[in-house]
Structure formats: structure tokens, C-alpha cells
Amino acid sequence: MSKPVLYLLPGLLCDARIFATQIADLADICEVKSLDFFGFDSIPAMAQHVLKQAPEKFSVAGFSMGGRVAFEVFRQAPERIERFCAFDTGLPPLAPGELEKREAIIKLAYDKGMEGLADSWLPPMIHPARQGDEAFMKPLRDMILSVTPEIHEKQIRALINRPDARPVLQQIRCPALFLAGRQDAWSPPEHHEEMAKAVPGSRLVVIDDSGHFVSVEQPAAFTKALRDWMEIKV
């Protein structure tokens, strides 16, 4: 019998590198795939990109912007989703005052380059204890520097125009996992507690000593949570 397929959906400026540990360590129980969303400027188009590549039935786990995509994947094709996971992400559409902040970061990337963007944007996403760890930060910084300001702008435009995912939450009845780093200031655990409360039988996992990038900040704990979730029979 073939292994179940798990798609890991990356966040803003990210690619499969942030899931390297999970892709390797979960290979014994499932076929783990990832992709990037470079070149797309809408969440629905990103979801279509996933659905065009994925098999008829698959599990999906989305990080940050990728979590938004995961909700849209479910909205477009709920019958294809075996298990659903959203981590370090959010639900609502554009918030008051958010547009100005998003426009400012677009401008920063063009004015200061991706180096300037990385210097400003990345450290607050990471647990404070790791922000000065050059060996830890360098691969994340290198990933950001591999992206262009134009790609960054398209992804930010997608987030500015993102759909409201709250109605989707009410429709999820497959095995669901909501997960966050305890020190994630961008997508805090309490947001994921609300998600879990809205989905009967879902699991909530909060991982200590982690900021927003839980898959690389605490890879073993994150992988275990995914493994436990993927082993739920469907």
C-alpha cells in the first residue's frame, strides 16, 4: 500500500529548506512534499498551485502564509484533504493599520535590498535567545537573500488581499492539528487555541522555546507533533 502524502506549505520568503528535518525524518511513514509560492500574488492562486500538483487525497500542513494557503486549499477542495494542520499562522483578513505596515516593508525591500529586509524582518520572528546565534540565523538569512524584492512584493500583495479563513475553520472535520511556538509574537499561541476550540476533536500543540519559525527552532518537537498527527487513521 502506498504511503500517505503530506504537503508542507512554506511561509513568506520561505521554501522547502525550512522543512528539511521533517522531510527526512517523516519519510518512513509518509511521502513528504513541499513547494514554494514564488511568482504568485494571491492566496487562491497559491492554493490552486498546490491542488494541481497534489494527488487526489493528501494531508496538508501550512506555516504562516502557507497556513493561509492551507485554509484556502481546504475551502477549494475539502473532499481531498485527509488531515489538516495550520501552524504559526492566522485567520482574519487585513486588519486596520496593517496595509500601511505592509506597504512600508515592500518599500524597504526595494530601497535597502533583501539584506536590509532580512536585518529588519527576520530577528523579531525568532526566539530572543537565538537572534544572536549566527550559525542558526545564517541559513534563514541566506534563504531570504535568495528571493527578490519583486517576489517579496507579490507575496505581500497576496497577504494584503488574503481571504477571511474563519468560515473555513467551521468546515474542518478531518483530523486537525493547530500548533504554535510559545514565544511566537507574530502568530501567538492564543490564536491557535481559538482555532482548536472551533474544530471538534482537533489537537493543540504549543512548543516551548520557539518563536515563529518552529520547524527550524525546535525541529524535533515539531516533527514529533506532525508524526503523531500523521499516524491518526483516516
Whether residues 32 and 140 share a domain: the answer is no
Q: What is the pLDDT of residues 119-148, one digit of tens each?
A: 999 999 999 999 999 999 999 999 999 999
> Does one domain contain both 103 and 66?
no
Question: Would you state the pLDDT for residue 116?
Answer: 98
Q: What is the CATH number of the domain that holds 64?
A: 3.40.50.1820
Question: Does 31 share its domain with 135?
Answer: no
Per-residue pLDDT of the chain (234 residues; tens, 9 = 90+): 689 999 999 999 999 999 999 999 999 999 999 999 999 999 999 999 999 999 999 999 999 999 999 999 999 999 999 999 999 999 999 999 999 999 999 999 999 999 999 999 999 999 999 999 999 999 999 999 999 999 999 999 999 999 999 999 999 999 999 999 999 999 999 999 999 999 999 999 999 999 999 999 999 999 999 999 999 999
Same domain, 78 and 104: no
Cα separation, 63 vs 211, whole angstroms: 13
Please give the backbone phi and psi of residue 179, each rounded to the nearest 5 degrees, phi first.
-145, 145
**152 lies in the same domain as 123:** yes
Considering the domain architecture, whether residues 11 and 82 belong to the same structural domain is answered as: yes
Q: Are 85 and 171 part of one and the same domain?
A: yes
Verify that 192 and 90 share a domain, yes or no.
Answer: yes
Same domain, 67 and 90: yes
3-state SS track over the chain: CCCCEEEEECCCCCCHHHHHHHHHHCCCCCEEEECCCCCCCCHHHHHHHHHHHCCCCEEEEEECHHHHHHHHHHHHCHHHEEEEEEECCCCCCCCCCHHHHHHHHHHHHHHHHHHHHHHHHCHHHCCHHHCCCHHHHHHHHHHHHCCCHHHHHHHHHHHHCCCCCHHHHCCCCCCEEEEEECCCCCCCHHHHHHHHHHCCCCEEEEECCCCCCHHHHCHHHHHHHHHHHHCCCC
How far is 26 from 5, CA to CA, in rounded Å? 11
pLDDT for the residue numbered 202: 98
Q: Are residues 173 and 148 in the same domain?
A: no
Last residue of a domain, one of 157, 179, 198: 157
How many Å apart are CA 202 and CA 23, to the nearest integer? 23
Q: Which of 106, 131, 157 is the last residue of a domain?
A: 157
89 and 178 in a single domain? The answer is yes
Residues 81 and 168 in one domain: yes
Give pLDDT, residue 2: 87
Query: Which residues, in sequence order, are CB contacts of 79 under 8 Å at separation 6+?
Result: none
Parent domain of 53? 5-94+162-230
Number of domains in the chain: 2
What count of Cα atoms within 13 Å lies in the side-chain half-sphere of residue 130?
23
